[in-house]
Amino acid sequence: MSANLGHYPPNPAYGSGIFRRRISFSSWGNGIQVSVLDDFHDMSVALVVDDGLIADVIARMDRFPKTSCPGATAALGMLRGRPADGAPPSLTSDERGGQCTHLVDLARLGLSWMARGDRAQRVEVSLTDRDVARRQRLAVEVDGALVLEWVLHDEVIVEPREHCGQTLFGGFTRWVQQNFPPAQADVWRIAQMAVFVARGRAYIVDGPQPRRVSEEPARQGACYSFSGAAFATAYDNTGYVRDMSGGFPPAYKAPQENIKRGA
């Protein structure tokens, strides 16, 4: 979500709720499926790796913010043939603008999980709404075990004390990669993305009068729906937000996509 959502009406329920985001992993042989579920998204990416390259990739979207978002599932096919060494997919700024940020992030996580042989199946983030002092509390669980807790003030870490003053944006990814081993760095980046997406909870972004993407010119080129023809034609989906303050829906093992497994 953008930091500039002031053209949407405020959410009168904001301040007492909790944003939740679940990343699920399901692997088989030389493939992996990674899914995200949160207030604003329900989507997945399946990847097959062969001889160190991405042999196939399929993306699916079941719930998404903009009318144009599903077009990004085909666009992700450009990852086929690229190295699958666990490093983030190398995309130019123009290529990133033609992709869904969340699908690319799921692909990155899937490749990282496969490269490490990670067996974790579920990462769940909970983040409280900002209180009157503009503080939030974040917790991350991996397969039910608590692995990370933050106290934030205006998206700057207050606790843990050893990282007090670290902002979550503007060089955060580089800082995380320099200071944490890969598995821990992935968890910190998952937490950062949750804070970013949770900004939308403060507003009614799926109201009965959808807003056009072009009303946010500062975001042009940021992702698939804010690039190319979509920027002029896309608008909000209505009624797509799911408030998960009361908890996640029951976890389930999603069926693997119809994707070539390889030999």
- Mean local confidence (pLDDT), 160-169: 97
Sign of CA dihedral 175, 180, 183, 189: negative
pLDDT of residue 3: 60
Task: Give 28's strand partners.
Answer: 31
User: What interhelical angle do 182-198 and 101-116 show, nearest 10?
Assistant: 160
Give the predicted TM-score (pTM) of the model.
0.92
Contact between 21 and 248 under an 8 Å Cβ cutoff? The reply is no
Residues in the chain: 263
Residue 89 DSSP class: P
Q: Are 3 and 199 in contact (CB under 8 A)?
A: yes
Q: Which residue has the higher pLDDT, 259 or 248?
A: 248
Give the mean model confidence (pLDDT) for residues 102-113.
95
The pLDDT tens digits for 37-46 are: 999 999 999 9
- For all residues of the chain together, what is the average pLDDT? 92
Angle between helices 182-198 and 172-179 (to 10 degrees): 160
What's the rounded Cα separation, in Å, for the pair 35 and 59?
A: 10
Tokens representing 107 are 């692909």
Which residue shows structure tokens 């079941």? 62
Mean pLDDT over 15-39 rounds to 97
Tens digits of per-residue pLDDT, 189-227? 999 999 999 999 999 999 999 999 999 999 999 999 999
Q: Tell me what the mean pLDDT of segment 245-254 comes to.
A: 80
